[in-house]
Amino acid sequence: MATGTPVRPHMLINGKLVEASDGKTFPVYNPATRAISAHVPEASIDDTNAAVAAAKAAFPAWSAMGGAKRAGYLKKLAALLRENKEELARLDSIAMGVPVATHHYALTAAANFDHYSEAWTTVQGQASVNTPGLVTMTLRQPYGVVALIIPWNAPCHFLGSKAAPALITGNTVVLKSSEKAPLAVARIAELVSEAGFPPGVFNIISGHGVPSGQILSRHMDVRALSFTGSSRTGKLIQEEAARTNLKKVILELGGKSPALVFEDANLEKTVEQTQFSIQVNSGQVCMANSRIYVQKSIASKFIEAFKTKFAGARAGNPLDKETNHGPQADEIQYRNVLKYIEEGKKSGTLALGGNGKLESTNGFFIEPTVFLDTPETSRITKEEVFGPVVIINTFETEAEAIAKANDTEFGLYAAVYTRDVSRAMRVAKALESGYVGINCTSPLTGIDLPFGGYKSSGQGREGWLYSMNNFLETKSIIMQIDEA
Ligand code: NAD
């Protein structure tokens, strides 16, 4: 197994591992040490267009190949991902700081490639029985060139959950990694090459949102685009799509997820789970429960236990197996989180943490931070912080809890903790959220359930029973039968 850092990672365009055509690179730093990790190719406009052209040229043969044969390539890639899981964890870690001990994303990517390599047989059409004189059918057909734009917080996972269903359904792909975490994805580009995918079927480029992401969003030959990232970027992509060819756009966006804790909840379990939700990946998780609403009667008990647990996060070198609390992904994220913490100190009551550790650690570490009594209208309560920062506020009645939980532009994941089954279901039905956990919270999800956001958290759903639909057009065919 190769272990060296790809000092000059490559892009995969038309089956060739290449540098940027104009030789441009951008640096990626290890956020735990600020040492340089790699110089990464910055895809130019020409490179992006070349990747789309290669995908377009590869589409006829790939789509005609049939699912069983396509599945063979996906299976090979799944095996290679598993073989290289430790290296992929290390590469993500030295790019965006995830502790290797918590990095399971190469395995989830592999699971996606394995799953879809079997699932293609479930793609079927329909026939109507309500059309006298006609024989009818629907065909499910691939779009053609599909663009996939992924974020930095779990790159391997998003590569797998998007590319596998797009490829197995006969589309060809151009995937753009995030500028903050391109290293594991660049290594996967080598594995795609090793798996022997025909040239142009699966292209992988690296670079910033502009130019490469923007070019993909407005490209006339890209027929569908699946994006995971911030709501701000999602809106820009939607605008570009609307201005150009109205490509199909699937958006998985940000969150400000609430957890509602009623007085009859199992306190120990609730503290354990809600703390993990906001601590894992240093709070850089779209569905992290960043707002916790606790019933007043148990608030002080809950807050004390939560603080103790949260303060126990083990910050340190993310390559060390003992570490479970890494730095923020880069300086931009670090400064952004600190800005919100300063705002929180003015609007609420700081109960834990509140400090950046750059001076003492030389890395972009932020202490687990808790704010109490923060006004519902404050920026730190309303906006996505994307750090280990939680708001804990209180409520007295069920109606008040629901109103506070729903008073947000986001709607990705919500949780309710109570032993009262009727209340749990009442609240679950009332929450404006694409996912609701009852006596559990994020990141727990069911792999074959639809995942996606209400409101500004996105449009469309992903999941093992859903994602292939995102990459298939539906055509109705009718045939008139001559009367005997
Ligand atoms: P981001 O929007 O800054 O970047 C995401 C991707 O979009 C990157 O590859 C980036 O280069 C690209 N991009 C940036 N500007 C672009 C443009 N103008 N046109 C096209 N592409 C562009 O998001 P991020 O900081 O990488 O990720 C964090 C965000 O992602 C958070 O808001 C988080 O909640 C969200 N997220 C959502 C989910 C989900 O499933 N709903 C999962 C993970 C992360």
Residues 179, 190, 252, 462: which is the catalytic one?
252
Report pLDDT digits (tens) over 262-276: 999 999 999 999 999
According to the model, what pLDDT value does residue 7 have? 57
Report pLDDT digits (tens) over 6-53: 557 999 999 999 999 999 999 999 999 999 999 999 999 999 999 999
- Could you tell me what percent of the chain has a pLDDT over 90? 98
Quick one: pLDDT band at residue 483, thresholds 50, 70, 90?
A: confident
Please tell me whether residues 185 and 142 are part of one structural domain: yes
What is the total residue count of the chain? 484
Name the nearest CA neighbour of 20 among 207, 170, 180. Answer: 207
Please tell me whether residues 96 and 70 are part of one structural domain: yes
Does 161 sit in the ligand 1 pocket, CB within 6 Å?
no
Please tell me whether residues 186 and 293 are part of one structural domain: no
Q: Domains in the chain: how many in total? A: 2
Burial class for 156, CB neighbours closer than 10 Å (0-12, 13-18, 19+):
buried
The best mutation among 149, 157, 177 to test binding of ligand 1, ranked by most ligand atoms within 8 Å of the C-beta, falls on: 149
For the entire predicted model, the pTM comes to 0.97
Please tell me whether residues 443 and 469 are part of one structural domain: no
Indicate if the alpha-carbon torsion angle 405, 406, 412, 417 is positive or negative: positive
Does 237 sit in the ligand 1 pocket, CB within 6 Å?
yes
Tokens matching residue 407: 């008073």
Look-up of token digits 């959220």: 433
Start-to-end Cα distance in the chain: 69
Residue environment code for 366-385, b if the CB has 16+ CB neighbours within 10 A, otherwise e: bbbbbbbebeeebebbebbb
Q: Are 324 and 175 in contact (CB under 8 A)?
A: no
According to the model, what pLDDT value does residue 78 have? 98
State which ligand 1 atom lies nearest to the alpha carbon of 286: 34
Strand order in the sheet with 202-205: 16-18, 11-13, 202-205, 172-176, 145-149, 222-228, 248-252, 458-459
Residue environment code for 115-150, b if the CB has 16+ CB neighbours within 10 A, otherwise e: bbbebbeeeeeeeeeeeeeeeeeeebebbbbbbbbb
Report pLDDT digits (tens) over 128-143: 999 999 999 999 999 9
According to the model, what pLDDT value does residue 195 have? 98
Please tell me whether residues 180 and 268 are part of one structural domain: no
CATH code at 414? 3.40.309.10
CATH code at 19? 3.40.605.10
Residue 400 falls in the annotated catalytic set: no
According to the model, what pLDDT value does residue 465 have? 95
**CA of residue 252 to ligand 1 center, whole Å:** 9
Residue 1 lies inside a defined structural domain of this protein = no
Instruction: Output the furthest CA–CA distance in the chain (Å, rounded).
Output: 88
Report pLDDT digits (tens) over 311-331: 999 999 999 999 999 999 999
Quick one: pLDDT band at residue 422, thresholds 50, 70, 90?
A: very high
Report which residue type is found at 204: I
The arithmetic mean of pLDDT across residues 60-84, rounded, is: 98
Residue whose CA lies nearest to ligand 1 atom number 16 = 209
Please tell me whether residues 136 and 281 are part of one structural domain: no
Count Cα atoms within 13 angstroms, Cβ side, for 187: 28
Please tell me whether residues 17 and 157 are part of one structural domain: yes
Cα separation, 89 vs 101, in Å, equals 9
* Residue 90 pLDDT exceeds 90: yes
Does 157 sit in the ligand 1 pocket, CB within 6 Å?
no
Please tell me whether residues 330 and 446 are part of one structural domain: yes
Please tell me whether residues 244 and 381 are part of one structural domain: no
* Residue 3 pLDDT exceeds 50: no
The domain in which residue 431 lies consists of 258-455
According to the model, what pLDDT value does residue 484 have? 75
The arithmetic mean of pLDDT across residues 387-407, rounded, is: 98
The arithmetic mean of pLDDT across residues 395-417, rounded, is: 98
According to the model, what pLDDT value does residue 108 have? 97
Q: Are 220 and 244 in contact (CB under 8 A)?
A: yes
Taking each helix axis from N to C terminus, what angle separates 155-168 and 105-119, rounded to the nearest 10 degrees?
Answer: 10
Residue 4 lies inside a defined structural domain of this protein = no
Please tell me whether residues 271 and 233 are part of one structural domain: no
Report pLDDT digits (tens) over 184-230: 999 999 999 999 999 999 999 999 999 999 999 999 999 999 999 99
Please tell me whether residues 116 and 65 are part of one structural domain: yes
Please tell me whether residues 325 and 202 are part of one structural domain: no
Quick one: pLDDT band at residue 288, thresholds 50, 70, 90?
A: very high
According to the model, what pLDDT value does residue 1 have? 35
